[in-house]
Amino acid sequence: MIYDVLILGAGPAGLSAAIYAGRNKQSVLLIEQGQDGGQISVTDAIENYPGQMLEGENGFTLSQRMAEQAKRFGAQRVSDTIREAKLDGEVKELVGASGTYRGRTLIIAAGASHRSLGIPSEAALAGHGISYCATCDAGFFRGRDVYVAGGGDSAVQEALFLTRFARKVTLIHRRDALRAVPALQEKAFANEKLHFLWNSVVTDAGGDGKLQWLTIRNTKSGETTKIEAKPEDGFFGLFVFLGVVPATDLFKGKLDLEDGYIVTDENMHTHIPGVFAAGDIRKKKLRQVVTAAADGGIAAMEAYEYIRG
């Protein structure tokens, strides 16, 4: 089958595109290798999305409602990992592990993934003390010490969430000032359980099957400090929020990229006719749920006009 619209990624951009394309009575296939919602599906608190539930809204609940809307408007859904993209010609093809998918248009909304620390022991300790999702793993560190690497909005927001569980939360930031928005900084500095290690980076970590020690290097003095878990605790947690890496490996050499992000015009067009990009994968200034959803809506309407004309 050749669909009117293929959508790669089921985050806010992809789901928004599916809703708009479905309402246009187009045939839509939404392809996602993981959980609907992308990064926001593991975000504890959503406070700035227009029309959200005022109490108890989180990334999972918001993305689930978006997915239900897309389903209501007829969008079909498949779970697959795409290994090759064929963008030339009137019909676009995505070749996955489980099948090949064809569409008259393609909206790329594959988003981005968390940036790693880059230390040798990171992979071995992931899930054993090192985590990238406070909502998922905070409960494992109830009453223990927790460290957070990062200084942007996500790092501060998740550090604040972790204070509900941990005995003490220490945010490790390579600079001497946070990059988070002022409202989040105000909350962070007012929280008695939240502490800060400025001008510092994590250089190593280890333990006997679980995270029991970290080494921290001061970026100004070069001094290295080792932090060890309290004997009575046995281990502690490190949550990593160092930014994101766009999922654009499939499109290197095929689409125009800048700093790893897909370059589009203001209407989500790439340089290839019929191929659009939306959300965090696209080169732009503000990456938020509201801008991703807007990108998806624009891309879907442009895909509709492309097919018509």
Annotated active-site positions, please? 133, 136-137
What span, in angstroms and rounded, lies between the C-alpha atoms of 128 and 209? 7
What span, in angstroms and rounded, lies between the C-alpha atoms of 139 and 123? 21
Token pair for residue 50? 């227009």
Are the C-beta atoms of residues 243 and 270 closer than 8 Å to each other?
no
Buried b / exposed e over 32-49, threshold 16 CB at 10 Å, is bbeebbbbbbbbbebeeb
Cβ neighbours of residue 145 closer than 8 Å, sequence gap 6 or more? 166, 167, 168, 169, 170, 229, 230, 233, 236, 237
Token pair for residue 202? 């994590």
Q: Where are the alpha helices (DSSP H) in the chain?
A: 12-23, 59-72, 122-125, 134-137, 153-162, 182-190, 289-308
Output the DSSP codes for 62-107. Answer: HHHHHHHHHHHTT-EEEE--EEEEE-SSSSEEEEESS-EEEEEEEE
User: Which phi and psi angles does 197 have, rounded to 5°?
Assistant: -115, 105
Best CA proximity match to 210, nearest among 119, 300, 125:
125
Best CA proximity match to 8, nearest among 137, 91, 101, 72:
101
